[in-house]
Amino acid sequence: MSPRIAVTGRIPSAGLDLLHEAGEVVAWDSLDVPSVEQVHDMVRGADAVLTLLTTKVDAAFLDAAGPRLKVVANVAVGYNNIDVAACVERGVVCTNTPGVLTDATADIAMALVLMATRRLGEGERIIRSDAPWQWGMFYMLGSGIQGNQLGIIGMGDIGQALARRAKAFGIRIAYSNREPVSPRIEADLGAKFMSQDELLSTSDVVSLNCPYSSATHHLMSTDQFRMMRPGAFLVNTARGPIVDEAALVEALRSGQIAGAGLDVFENEPAVHPGLLQCENAVLIPHLGSATQETRAAMARLAAHNAVNVLAGVAPPTPIPLPST
């Protein structure tokens, strides 16, 4: 009997083609996000499921899928939508898509650094609103970044790719991470390892590039914004709930920090109403990996992961098992 493969959102054909060669595919064929009930109907009796980050994989999902399920292949590098421990308990392999979206996401982080520090969102809004404007010596001055310090929290692949870009802009790199990266990488990037508190109090721009988990929930809240330098900026391309959005709004309103560039939001797709009022916040709708090439590569890698597990072969990019 050929394996049954469910896909809980529309994905590029590069991934679907691989799946069709491996089994009978049931794929959600709409750009709307399916409801929980629709997901559960789709995954019933599946041997493999490809999930988007809008799909919650929890005990109810696993109950709905049933005992045949062997693999949950997330079409994303972040996997906070998956209860990995619950999957492991039932012998279900979980995989994600690291690597293929590193450059696209680092590009967006660098773009947000520039947009926030040079007030580009604000400038665009002025032109589009048809308000009068005129070049002026003191008109809409931003903050220069050359020689400034970018503090990267989370020096994995994306953090390092951002550091390479920032170095080319003449920016000094500081980082905090669970462990220092290798001396060779530090030397290549000219990156200095420091505690998170030191990074917050010395950086001109702080970029969040760490995974979301209970340990990083509200990693940036009132106390952390207080540690940041007045005139500093925050950029988040990781996951929304790493930032306490109410505290961020307060820090932006009070001038505690100068601005923010956000690609992700605490209660996505909802955006804190206070942020919408902050001229000094650049807000974009979770576009980190949103290029045609990257999304095709993500779909292909997720399909490859699923097909390998179904064939009894190790998947290329398994999610590390939770530590006990």
Annotated catalytic residues are: 239, 268, 286
Q: Does 289 bind ligand DGY (CB under 6 A)?
A: yes
Size of the site for ligand DGY (CB under 6 A): 7
Of 57, 101, 163, 275, which lies in the binding site for ligand DGY, with binding defined by CB under 6 A?
101
Shortest spacing between CB 96 and ligand DGY, in angstroms: 7
**Interacting residues of 212 by C-beta distance below 8 A, sequence separation 6+:** 78, 80, 238, 239, 241, 242
Shortest spacing between CB 170 and ligand DGY, in angstroms: 28
3-state helix, strand, coil in the chain (%, to 5): 40, 15, 45
- Contact between 301 and 97 under an 8 Å Cβ cutoff? The reply is yes
Nearest CB to ligand DGY, comparing residues 236 and 289: 289
Shortest spacing between CB 86 and ligand DGY, in angstroms: 20
Q: What is the DSSP letter of 242?
A: G
Q: Does 98 bind ligand DGY (CB under 6 A)?
A: no
Nearest CB to ligand DGY, comparing residues 117 and 317: 317
Ranges of beta strands (E only) in 169-225 are 172-176, 191-193, 205-208
Q: What phi and psi values does residue 280 have, to the nearest 5 degrees?
A: -90, 15
Nearest CB to ligand DGY, comparing residues 80 and 148: 80
Q: Does 242 bind ligand DGY (CB under 6 A)?
A: no
82 three-class SS: strand
292, with CB counted inside 10 A (0-12, 13-18, 19+), is exposed
Of 9, 78, 121, 240, which lies in the binding site for ligand DGY, with binding defined by CB under 6 A?
78
243-272 residues in contact with ligand DGY (CB under 6 A) are none
Of 9, 240, 288, 315, which lies in the binding site for ligand DGY, with binding defined by CB under 6 A?
288
Q: Does 77 bind ligand DGY (CB under 6 A)?
A: yes
CA angle 239/241/242 to nearest 5° reads 70
Q: Which residues bind ligand DGY (CB under 6 A)?
A: 53, 76-78, 101, 288-289
